[in-house]
Amino acid sequence: MARINTNYQKLQAGYLFPEIGKRVRAFAAQNPAAKIIRLGIGDVVLPLPPPIVEALKAGADELARKETFKGYGPEQGYDFLLSAIAGHYREQGAQVEPDEVFVSDGSKCDTANIQEIFAADSLIAVTDPVYPVYVDTNVMAGRTGAADASGRYAGLTYLPTTAENGFDPPLPASRVDLVYLCSPNNPTGAVMSRDSLVRWVAWAKANKAVILFDAAYEAFIREPGLPHSIYEIPGAREVAIEFRSLSKTAGFTGTRCAYIVVPKELKGFDASGAEVPLHGLWNRRHTTKFNGVSYPIQRAAAAVFSPEGRAAVRANIDAYMENARLIREGLTAAGYAVHGGKNAPYVWLKVPGGLTSWQFFDKLLGEANVVGTPGSGFGSCGEGYFRLSAFGFRENVEEAVARIAAKLPAR
């Protein structure tokens, strides 16, 4: 008898974004004339810039010739990409060695998989609201009990990050072994300050805990002085794993390429309390379960760090951040209380009129034909909030803001 992993039965409904997709498809089927504008899932729309496409094509051409053909590559990534990534970290004031970088097919997968190298009974903390992958993968792994009526799982520590505390995650009040932090934050768009990260690094050291730091949106930080990497903080190499992605940074959501940094100094503990380097554990996991990102994609990824690639990627990010500004300012003028959107491609708004997040989702879709993401999908502290993504064509963003202001003003 093939018995299932019953932890899956604890999971709430469907995963957030497919669930939204399902509802939007149903609405579109019933309202074929509606011109729907999608600002829900954070998916890029601008094409890959020319220097990156040229590198992708050149990589493919190499595979077409006997002299330059490649089969399996190093699971961790080719040296040319690892060195480019480490060089980029150095420029940002963070020390990362090429052999501490592991190239992968996405930060969703990396942040989902990382929990495998930690004990099954590890105590986990997440912020609330939170990127759902961190929670669901720990539910699947059996680290939680059942969910309560608000969707919170027994056994997880939730750290409310709300407008009331300036979206700065508070330190856990009780013992925790692993904490997931995301900055710039998905969904709130808030960025953790240097002081806040210093506090977290000191906490992790004092508690022999590990910080799982998701920096997938670091390239969207505009304000000088805000940390792009947790490794800008002294001591962070001993307590943190960092995740980064080219998905939103460089338009790779379909192409797939991301990376994770596991510093050599970072240690976990075995059953006897002896220190064990996490780098070796992750290397073992990665080389057992993953065969590396394809060569042309890694060539394209390396081009992101070239002078031409950087300029082109920067132009696309500028365009998305201009969208974020349009959303922020347009909705503020329409009476909405908005957060984020200054150093992140997400705008987090308070739902007007006492509606729930999903009620607002339906109203926005039905009356303005605009798709967003209900805040409650990111956790109970997200109830009454709503996320709009700045990943769209400018003309669509302008139209979406105009429709919301006209049909659903917040005053």
Residues that bind ligand MLT (CB under 6 A): 41-43, 108, 186
Query: Closest distance between ligand MLT and the C-beta of residue 4, in Å?
Result: 25
Residue type, 194: R
Nearer to ligand MLT, 43 or 62 (CB): 43
The smaller minimum CB distance to ligand MLT, of residues 41 and 119, is found at: 41
Least distance to ligand MLT from the beta carbon of 17, Å?
6
C-alpha angle 247-253-257 in degrees, rounded to nearest 5:
55
CB of 184 to ligand MLT, least distance (A): 12
In whole angstroms, the minimum distance from the beta carbon of 95 to ligand MLT comes to: 27
Instruction: Report the residue number, 209 or 323, with the smaller CB distance to ligand MLT.
Output: 323
Distance CA 383, CA 375 (A): 5
Closest by Cα among 42, 145, 75 to 290: 75
The partner residues of 244 in beta bridges, in order of sequence, read 259
Q: Is 201 or 255 the residue whose CB approaches ligand MLT more closely?
A: 255
**CA 342 to CA 220: how far, in whole Å?**
8
Q: Which residues contact 356 (CB under 8 A, 6 or more apart)?
A: 374, 376, 383, 384
Q: How far is the CB of 167 from ligand MLT (least distance, A)?
A: 16
| 126 vs 86: CA distance, rounded Å | 28
Euclidean distance between CA atoms 76 and 283, whole angstroms: 8
Whole-angstrom distance, CA of residue 406 vs CA of residue 366: 14
* 84, 305 Cβ separation under 8 angstroms: yes
Nearer to ligand MLT, 43 or 308 (CB): 43
Nearer to ligand MLT by Cβ, of 186 and 298: the residue is 186
Q: Give the Cα separation of 387 and 384 in Å (integer).
A: 11
